[in-house]
Amino acid sequence: MFDKINFKIPLDKFIENALYHPKKGYYSTKNPFGKEGDFITAPNISKVFSEMIFIWIISYWQKFYKNKEINIIELGAGNGEMIKQIIISSKKFNNFHKNCNFKIFEKSEKLIKLQKSRLKKYNIKWLKNFDKLDNKPVIFLGNEFLDALPIKQYIKNNGSWYERYVKKHGKFFKFKNIKCDIKKIEKKLNLNLSNKHKFLEVPFEAIKILKKLDFIITKKRGCLLFIDYAYTKCEMIDTLQAVKKHKKVNLFDDVGNADISHIINIPFLKEIVKKLNLRLKYTTQRNFLLNLGIMKRAELLSSNKNFLEKANIFYRITRLIDKKQMGELFKVIYIYKKNNKFNLGFK
Q: Which of 233, 230, 150, 164 is nearest to 196 (CA)?
A: 233
pLDDT at 172: 82
pLDDT tens per residue, range 214-234: 999 999 999 999 999 999 999
Q: Specify burial of residue 312 (Cβ count, 10 A radius: 0-12, 13-18, 19+).
A: middle
DSSP assignments along 157-171, one per residue:
ETTEEEEEEEEEETT
Per-residue pLDDT tens listing for the chain (347 residues): 566 666 789 999 999 988 988 888 888 777 667 666 667 889 999 999 999 999 999 999 999 998 899 999 999 998 999 999 999 999 999 999 999 999 999 988 889 999 999 999 999 999 988 988 888 999 999 999 999 999 999 999 998 999 999 988 777 888 999 999 999 999 999 988 888 889 999 999 999 999 999 999 999 999 999 999 999 999 999 999 998 887 889 888 888 788 899 999 999 999 999 999 999 999 999 999 999 999 899 888 888 888 898 898 888 999 999 998 998 999 999 999 987 788 999 97
DSSP label at residue 50: H
pLDDT of residue 287: 96
Residue-level pLDDT at 216: 95
Q: What gap in Å lies between CA 149 and CA 261, rounded to an integer? A: 7
Q: Looking at residue 24, what is its pLDDT? A: 81
Q: What is the CA radius of gyration of the chain?
A: 21
What span, in angstroms and rounded, lies between the C-alpha atoms of 17 and 126?
Answer: 23
pLDDT at 298: 85
- In CATH terms, the fold of domain 6-340 is Rossmann fold (3.40.50)
Specify the pLDDT at position 36: 64
**pLDDT at residue 35 in the model:** 67
For residue 110, how many other CB atoms are within 10 A of its CB? 16
